[in-house]
């Protein structure tokens, strides 16, 4: 059986499981729809949280980023996993004790203000739509390559699948579907890693294989450093980012992780505060399996890519190269007419390849119209590395198909979590809490389901017509969450004196500052000017790291405004006191 047949079989089996779970776990009440009834076990919640958290960005893009950035890519590992520790220790138990369904609900009640609630809803929608657009595009890429359908049709199929299990089951259906998706995605990520590690270093454990030796006795990383320097790249194990920027990106990713509404809501699905802590610890363990393997996959894929493609003739290239050319994620422009691919530092093309129909050059390459003057002749999209890795290493067809199923599981699980946040923000925080407080349970459930349909259509449109800026800002969703939610939540838990004026002013200033910086320095003012160059970055801070500065400004504004205005009511201050007292502490102090 070929790759395509295997893919249909494995993707088909996983989808049947997802649909079966959605039908079994239908939500009958708003509590089941929003927080799965609040009775999920810590183990199931830990797995579901890990799947919710590990999106297409973790599964498809992260190892790809590390394989091209080398040492500099470690900021993603540190930021995303560190953020999880922050969330588990600083926020999850307290938010669970406060007992609200959503982040805007917490902010609205803690800051005794519908204005604060509305600002939080707007922030949640901006962060969630920014993030979900990348997930839908990831679904489209996987479908188009492995099932040989058009990318846009792939996005539509993905929308339909998510709609079924999110619409029927709400958080209850999504939780148990995500448990299955975690099992699929971790198996799909680890199996090729075991194979390739064994193949290259003789050690089956990829984390150890990455530091091991290859056939001629040299260390794998030394070999990769040598290949890099020969081709004019920086040494793979050397970083080029400044210390401040590394710190800023890491902190923005950490605080952004801890402020992501679709991850925070998972801690409301367990019955006790103790279970929230347990599930956070288990989730960290489940996430660590993938996150410690990603750098190894990056090293294996990078080495294999250079060795199989660089300085090779097109006729002698392996089959995978020609297959992936059709997706536009890899391309070759022969600039010196020697029939060989010169892979060196520099951009081979201006942006993504623009093919001249199906025309071929004299050496068989597909002709592109946007080759530039750099000596580099090879264009590789970073998202290709994990998906093409099993093919580059010549692994069996079923392993290639398994990776496709894993990529879909990762993208769909996060998309479902994000869409639920969008739907609960509209139905619970806008309609129930503000527009129509006396709405019946049945009416609220209907509103939540209609909101999910609306959210999926918008997300699908982003996937089909990805505005350049959306594709560029998926990592920036974290900066947006750090700049808006994180200070409001942390100060809401730990600062009794923080009032509604401070929180609202801080959130508005933080998210506005982040959005402006992102537009000017990442995408340019569309149609007016190009993105501003690196030399003009504020304090040498990249757009990915600017969430840190916006977050600090948010904290300053919040604290100053709150101290200049009246203190929160006594009952709110009492709630803040109580959130921080561990359950059962009262009994220990009375004699």
Q: Is the pLDDT of residue 585 over 70?
A: no
- Split at pLDDT 50, 70, 90, the class of 550 is very high
Contact 507, 123 (CB under 8 A): yes
Least confident range of 265-279, 338-352, 359-373, 437-451: 359-373
Cα dihedral: 162, 169, 409, 351 (round 10): 30
Q: Is the pLDDT of residue 137 over 80?
A: no
- Split at pLDDT 50, 70, 90, the class of 379 is confident
Please choose, from the candidates 57, 60, 18, the residue with its C-alpha nearest in 3D space to the C-alpha of residue 160.
18
Q: Is the pLDDT of residue 587 over 50?
A: no
Separation of alpha carbons 91 and 291, rounded Å: 22
pLDDT at 588: 42
pLDDT at 523: 66
- Split at pLDDT 50, 70, 90, the class of 71 is confident
3-state helix, strand, coil in the chain (%, to 5): 70, 5, 25
CATH number of 25-304+392-466: 1.20.1730.10
pLDDT (mean) for 150-157: 81
pLDDT (mean) for 413-433: 80
Q: Is the pLDDT of residue 29 over 80?
A: no
Cut 0.95: pTM above it: no
Rounded to the nearest angstrom, the gap between the alpha carbon of residue 328 and the centroid of all alpha carbons in its chain is 22
Q: Tell me the DSSP string of 199-214.
A: HHHS-S-HHHHTTSB-
pLDDT (mean) for 325-344: 79
CB atoms within 10 A of CB 198: 14
Cα–Cα distances in angstroms (integers) from residue 379 to residues 70, 352, 521, in the given order = 17, 8, 24
- Split at pLDDT 50, 70, 90, the class of 557 is very high
pLDDT at 101: 66
- Split at pLDDT 50, 70, 90, the class of 474 is low
Delimit the domains of the chain by residue range: 25-304+392-466
Contact 265, 35 (CB under 8 A): yes
Contact 348, 367 (CB under 8 A): no
pLDDT at 564: 93
Q: Is the pLDDT of residue 372 over 90?
A: no
Q: Is the pLDDT of residue 75 over 90?
A: no
pLDDT at 133: 75
Question: Which span out of 230-244, 469-483, 558-572 was modeled with the highest average pLDDT?
Answer: 558-572
Query: Residue written as tokens 């489209």?
Result: 140
pLDDT at 59: 81
Q: Where are the alpha helices (DSSP H) in 353-475?
A: 384-392, 397-424, 441-464, 468-472
Q: Is the pLDDT of residue 13 over 80?
A: yes
pLDDT (mean) for 94-108: 79
DSSP 394: T
Query: Residue written as tokens 């009246």?
Result: 566
Element (H or E) spanning 178, and its range? helix 151-201
Longest dimension (CA), the chain: 91
pLDDT at 531: 65
Q: Is the pLDDT of residue 505 over 90?
A: yes
Q: Where are the alpha helices (DSSP H) in 36-73?
A: 42-53, 56, 63-69
pLDDT at 293: 92
- Split at pLDDT 50, 70, 90, the class of 468 is low
Supply the mean pLDDT for the chain: 81
- Split at pLDDT 50, 70, 90, the class of 507 is very high
Please choose, from the candidates 28, 418, 479, the residue with its C-alpha nearest in 3D space to the C-alpha of residue 248.
479
pLDDT at 589: 44
């Amino acid at each position: 059986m070929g790759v395509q047949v295997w893919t249909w079989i494995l993707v088909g089996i996983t989808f049947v499981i997802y649909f079966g779970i959605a039908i079994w776990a239908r939500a009958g009440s708003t509590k089941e729809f929003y927080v799965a009834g609040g009775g999920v076990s810590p183990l199931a919640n830990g797995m579901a949280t890990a799947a919710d958290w590990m999106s297409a960005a973790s599964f498809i893009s992260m190892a790809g980023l590390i394989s091209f950035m080398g040492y500099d890519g470690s900021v993603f590992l540190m930021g995303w996993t560190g953020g999880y520790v922050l969330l588990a220790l600083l926020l999850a138990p307290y938010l669970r004790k406060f007992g609200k369904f959503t982040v805007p609900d917490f902010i609205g009640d803690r800051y005794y203000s519908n204005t604060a609630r509305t600002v939080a809803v707007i922030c949640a929608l901006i962060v969630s739509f920014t993030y979900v657009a990348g997930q839908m595009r990831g679904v489209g890429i996987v479908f188009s390559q492995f099932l040989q359908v058009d990318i846009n049709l792939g996005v539509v199929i993905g929308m339909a699948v998510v709609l079924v299990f999110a619409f029927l089951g709400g958080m209850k259906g999504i939780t148990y579907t995500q448990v299955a998706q975690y099992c699929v995605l971790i198996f799909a990520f680890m199996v090729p890693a075991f194979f390739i590690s064994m193949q290259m270093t003789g050690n089956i454990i990829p984390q150890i294989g990455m530091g091991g030796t290859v056939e001629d006795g040299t260390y794998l990383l030394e070999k990769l450093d040598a290949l890099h320097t020969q081709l004019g790249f920086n040494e793979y194990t050397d970083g080029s980012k400044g210390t401040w920027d590394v710190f800023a990106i890491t902190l923005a990713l950490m605080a952004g992780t801890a402020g992501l509404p679709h991850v925070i809501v998972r801690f409301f699905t367990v019955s006790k505060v103790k279970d929230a802590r347990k599930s956070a610890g288990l989730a960290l363990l489940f996430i660590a399996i993938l996150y410690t393997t990603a750098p190894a996959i990056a090293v294996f894929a990078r080495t294999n890519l250079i060795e199989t493609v660089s300085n090779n003739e097109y006729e002698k290239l392996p089959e995978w190269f020609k297959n992936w050319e059709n997706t536009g994620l890899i391309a070759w422009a022969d600039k010196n007419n020697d029939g060989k691919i010169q892979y060196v530092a520099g951009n081979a093309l201006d942006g993504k390849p623009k093919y001249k129909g199906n025309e071929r050059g004299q050496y068989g390459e597909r002709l592109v119209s946007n080759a530039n003057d750099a000596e580099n002749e090879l264009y590789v999209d970073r998202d290709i590395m994990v998906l093409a890795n099993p093919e580059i290493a010549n692994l069996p067809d079923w392993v290639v198909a398994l990776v496709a199923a894993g990529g879909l599981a990762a993208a769909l699980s996060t998309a479902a979590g994000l869409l639920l946040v969008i739907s609960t923000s509209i139905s619970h925080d806008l309609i129930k809490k503000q527009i129509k407080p006396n709405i019946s349970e049945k009416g609220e459930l209907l509103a939540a389901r209609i909101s999910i349909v609306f959210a999926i259509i918008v997300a699908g449109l982003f996937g089909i017509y990805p505005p350049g800026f959306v594709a560029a800002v998926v990592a920036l969703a974290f900066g947006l969450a750090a700049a808006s939610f994180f200070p409001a939540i942390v100060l809401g838990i730990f600062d009794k004196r923080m009032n509604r004026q401070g929180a609202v002013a801080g959130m508005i200033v933080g998210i506005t500052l982040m959005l402006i910086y992102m537009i000017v320095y990442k995408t340019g003012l569309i149609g007016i000017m190009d993105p501003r160059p690196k030399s003009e970055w504020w304090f040498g801070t990249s757009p990915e790291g600017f969430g840190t500065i916006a977050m600090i400004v948010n904290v300053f504004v919040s604290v100053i405004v709150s101290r200049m205005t009246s203190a929160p009511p006594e009952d709110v201050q009492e709630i803040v006191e109580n959130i921080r007292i561990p359950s059962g502490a009262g009994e220990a102090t009375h004699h």
